[in-house]
Amino acid sequence: MTEEPIELDLRGEICPFTFVKTKLQLEELESGDNLTVIFDYPPAVSNVPKSVKNEGHTILGIDKEENNIWKVHIKKA
């Protein structure tokens, strides 16, 4: 298990690729690891967390940054 969250920058990506790439990154992590995913595509902010939760992972929080950037914090199941 890693101490620091892994960061996945998906700025410029659109759905469904935002979820596909998030899922692939989660598959490489160990249970309990944290992943921070960065989006600039508004639909991904609602779609990816919903899909990630359906996969059994935990959404730790969503931060809205400047310039329509969001960070979604995920804990792998």
Per-domain boundaries in the chain = 6-75
Helices then strands (H, E): number in the chain? 2, 4
Q: Which two tokens stand for residue 45?
A: 């902010």
- 6-75: CATH topology is Translation Initiation Factor IF3 (3.30.110)
Active site residue 16: no
For residues 37 and 58, is the Cβ–Cβ distance under 8 A? no
Tell me the pLDDT band of 4, cut-offs 50, 70 and 90: confident
- Whole-model pTM: value is 0.94
Q: pLDDT tens digits, residue range 32-44?
A: 999 999 999 999 9
From the candidates 6, 15, 38, 62, give the one annotated as an active-site residue.
15
Task: Please state, as a whole number, how many other Cβ atoms lie within 10 Å of the Cβ of residue 71.
Answer: 17
Q: pLDDT tens digits, residue range 50-74?
A: 999 999 999 999 999 999 999 999 9
Q: DSSP secondary-structure letter at 5?
A: P
3-state SS class at 27: helix
